[in-house]
Each structure stands twice: as structure tokens, then as C-alpha cells.
């Protein structure tokens, strides 16, 4: 049994690419870390009280290191800036046990990994896992510029370097990603995985669908959801506690519930991690997260309280 959170030490920090740090975390005593599967992330507890999720980019079979790649985003709400400030070599930080919302399909005959920018991080762990199981795969790393990228030396030195394809917007067009060529000959056992900025991922997903890849074979992980809480006010009835609260326009369900003494466990506050997932007993949610699958959204029996709203005048929640 592993702790939900535990302390690690920053063993190594490197500046790579533009505004990216690559950080190796380890047990202070050098012992083994909890196991993880490719696609997993950890919660990082920052000094300013924020909790942010970062994908693991290390080899899953190596139990002595968790590798993170963190872009310092000027539009950040404080998370990446705080991570860059506190993740210095020798620092002790607290993280959560790895969780996986972006798993590999173990029996796929072919896996196509497509990362945009810092979205390459979970795909590197996937590449290691697929290599270690002798699976058929290819990794496509897309970015505006070579100088903006992290992990290039690591990928070039990896035993699967021949399967890595680099695509840069500012280099000749013949090296840019052509999904029609990449996915030529794809069959029902071909799976595609993508992570990166929303616009990039929407393009990858749209192209994959256009090329005949079924939705069940398209796997994605967004950085964040549409956290815009605009929309008409509605009521929330908390079934277990018997309390009712009005959720105002521009107010999250989490914040509204807090006004009547109902505390909801939240982590990312961006509709990504699923920590605030709640069962819906009545009403229709207005889903604004990127955690639930299309099938789960269609069922309308779950909601992420940090970002989603209601399409009906009220929601009855199992809380």
C-alpha cells in the first residue's frame, strides 16, 4: 500500500528548450518509487498552496526516478511559475501517487504517438513502455521550433530513436507532419494518442477522424478545460446533506457549495484531474471538462464541479 502523497527530492534540474525545465524526482533515501503506467501524472504540491498535475516522462520500468517536463507559461495562473521557482536541485517537495487518465491500449497492433510542444511528456513514457514490450509504434514530436524543444538529446540517444520523427513549423515543409501519410493503411487495431495545446490536438483529432480512425481508437489528454463559468444561474441540491444553493453566473459549483458549508475536494481546478467528480441524480450537466469521455458525457450522470455548469434549471447531486 502506497501513501497518497509522499516526499521526493529534486535530484536533477536542467534547462532545456525555451522556458522548459526537465526535473528528476527521487526518494530522499534512494528507494523505489511507487510504480506507474505510461500516460500517468502526479500531483505536485507547490509552496504557494497550489496543486498542479504534471505527466511523467520517465521510463516506467525505472522505479528510481520520476521525470517531469514543465513549461513556464506566461499565461499561467501561478502553477508553472511556482514550479520553476521551487523545483531546484536538492529541494524536498511533496507529490501524489501516480494516477492515469491516459492509458495505453495493451493489445494494439500499432500505436501512433503525436505530441505538440510540452505535450510530448506522457508520450515519451509511452514510447519507453512500447519499446520495452517490443510493440509496433512511432513517436511524432511537433513544435514551432527546434530551439523550443526539450528531450531532444534524450530521444536521439534512446534505443527507439529510429521510431522518433521530429516536425518543426520553421523548417522545410517536407519534414512537417502529414497525418494522411502517417495513418495510411491504418486498420481497426491502429490507435493514436495525442497531447499538446488544444488547437493542435483538435487538428490531430479532426484529421484522424477524417481519415477513418474511429473515436474509440483516438486517445487524448488536454492540458486544461474550458474553465469559463459564464452561463445562466441555476440551483444545486445536495442530496446527502439536504442543502440547496444558487450557482450564480460566473461562479463555480465548488465555490457555491462552499457558501453553504459543503467542501469539495479539488486539485487542478481546470477540469483535468477528476478529483471533484460527482454523481448527478437529476438534471442535465453542461460539461466543460476534458476528463470525461464522450460516452460518459452522453450518460449525463457525472459532473466535474470545478468547471461545469447546468443546462437545466437545477441539478441534484449525490453529495
DSSP secondary structure, 88-135, as one string:
-TT-EEEEEPPB-SS---TT-SEEEEEEEGGGGHHHHHHHHHHHHTT-
The predicted-structure confidence for 78-121, as pLDDT tens digits, reads as follows: 788 999 999 999 999 999 999 998 999 989 999 999 999 999 99
**Winning range, highest mean pLDDT, from 30-44, 227-241, 257-271, 293-307:** 30-44
Q: What pLDDT score was predicted for residue 1?
A: 43
Average pLDDT for 38-61: 92
Residue boundaries of the structural domains of the chain = 5-96, 110-222, 234-317
Q: What pLDDT score was predicted for residue 156?
A: 98
> pLDDT tier at 294 (50, 70, 90 boundaries)?
confident
Q: What is the DSSP letter of 155?
A: H
Q: What pLDDT score was predicted for residue 229?
A: 67
What's the mean per-residue pLDDT of the chain? 92
Q: What pLDDT score was predicted for residue 74?
A: 73
The predicted-structure confidence for 127-156, as pLDDT tens digits, reads as follows: 999 999 999 999 999 999 999 999 999 999
- The CATH code for residues 5-96 is 2.40.30.10
Residue 293 has pLDDT above 70, yes or no: yes
Is residue 166 packed enough to be buried (19+ CB in 10 Å), middle (13-18) or exposed (0-12)? middle
The predicted-structure confidence for 167-184, as pLDDT tens digits, reads as follows: 999 999 999 999 999 999
Q: Report the predicted TM-score, pTM, of the whole model to 2 decimal places.
A: 0.84
Average pLDDT for 281-307: 90
The predicted-structure confidence for 175-220, as pLDDT tens digits, reads as follows: 999 999 999 989 999 999 999 998 999 999 999 999 999 999 999 9
Average pLDDT for 6-26: 97
Beta strand pairing call for 137-143 and 218-222: unpaired
For residue 246, the tally of other CB atoms under 10 A from its CB is: 13
Residue 29 has pLDDT above 90, yes or no: yes
Q: What pLDDT score was predicted for residue 314?
A: 96
Domain 234-317 part of CATH 3.10.20.30 = yes
Residue 76 has pLDDT above 70, yes or no: no
CA-atom Rg of the chain in angstroms: 21
What Å distances lie between residue 130 and 160, 219, 279, 289, CA to CA?
Answer: 10, 16, 35, 29
Q: What pLDDT score was predicted for residue 301?
A: 95
Share of the chain above pLDDT 70, in %: 96
- The CATH code for residues 110-222 is 3.40.50.80
> pLDDT tier at 228 (50, 70, 90 boundaries)?
low
> pLDDT tier at 265 (50, 70, 90 boundaries)?
confident
In angstroms, the CA 126 to CA 220 distance is 13
Strand segments, DSSP code E, in 124-265 are: 137-143, 164-168, 190-196, 218-222, 234-238, 243-247
Q: List the end-to-end C-alpha distance of the chain, in Å, as a whole number.
A: 28
> pLDDT tier at 14 (50, 70, 90 boundaries)?
very high
Residue 310 has pLDDT above 90, yes or no: yes
Amino acid at each position: 500500500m502506497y501513501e497518497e502523497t509522499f516526499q521526493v527530492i529534486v535530484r536533477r534540474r536542467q534547462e532545456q528548450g525555451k522556458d522548459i525545465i526537465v526535473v528528476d524526482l527521487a526518494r530522499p533515501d534512494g528507494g523505489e518509487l511507487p510504480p506507474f503506467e505510461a500516460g500517468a501524472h502526479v500531483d505536485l504540491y507547490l509552496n504557494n498552496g497550489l496543486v498542479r498535475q504534471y505527466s511523467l516522462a520517465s521510463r516506467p520500468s525505472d522505479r528510481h526516478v520520476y521525470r517531469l517536463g514543465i513549461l513556464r507559461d506566461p499565461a499561467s495562473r501561478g502553477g508553472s511559475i511556482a514550479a520553476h521557482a521551487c523545483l531546484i536541485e536538492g529541494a524536498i517537495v511533496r507529490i501524489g501517487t501516480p494516477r492515469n487518465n491516459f492509458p495505453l491500449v495493451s493489445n494494439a497492433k500499432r500505436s501512433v504517438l503525436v505530441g505538440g510542444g510540452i505535450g510530448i511528456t506522457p508520450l515519451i513514457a509511452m514510447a519507453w513502455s512500447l519499446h520495452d514490450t517490443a510493440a509496433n509504434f512511432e513517436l511524432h514530436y511537433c513544435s514551432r521550433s527546434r530551439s523550443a524543444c526539450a528531450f531532444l538529446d534524450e530521444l536521439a540517444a534512446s534505443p527507439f530513436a529510429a521510431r522518433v520523427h521530429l516536425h518543426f513549423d520553421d523548417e522545410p515543409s517536407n519534414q512537417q507532419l502529414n497525418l494522411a501519410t502517417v495513418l495510411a493503411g491504418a486498420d481497426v487495431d491502429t490507435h493514436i494518442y495525442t497531447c499538446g495545446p488544444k488547437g493542435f490536438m483538435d487538428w490531430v483529432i479532426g484529421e484522424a477522424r477524417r481519415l477513418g480512425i474511429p473515436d474509440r481508437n483516438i486517445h487524448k489528454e488536454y492540458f486544461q478545460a474550458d474553465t469559463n463559468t459564464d452561463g445562466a444561474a441555476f440551483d444545486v441540491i445536495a442530496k446527502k446533506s439536504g442543502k440547496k444553493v444558487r450557482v450564480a453566473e460566473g461562479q463555480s459549483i465548488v465555490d457555491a457549495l462552499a457558501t453553504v458549508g459543503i467542501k469539495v475536494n479539488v486539485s487542478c481546478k481546470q477540469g483535468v484531474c477528476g478529483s471533484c467528480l460527482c454523481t448527478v441524480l437529476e438534471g442535465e450537466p453542461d460539461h466543460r471538462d476534458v476528463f470525461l469521455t464522450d460516452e460518459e458525457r452522453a450518460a449525463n450522470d457525472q459532473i466535474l464541479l470545478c468547471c461545469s455548469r447546468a443546462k437545466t434549471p437545477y441539478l441534484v447531486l449525490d453529495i
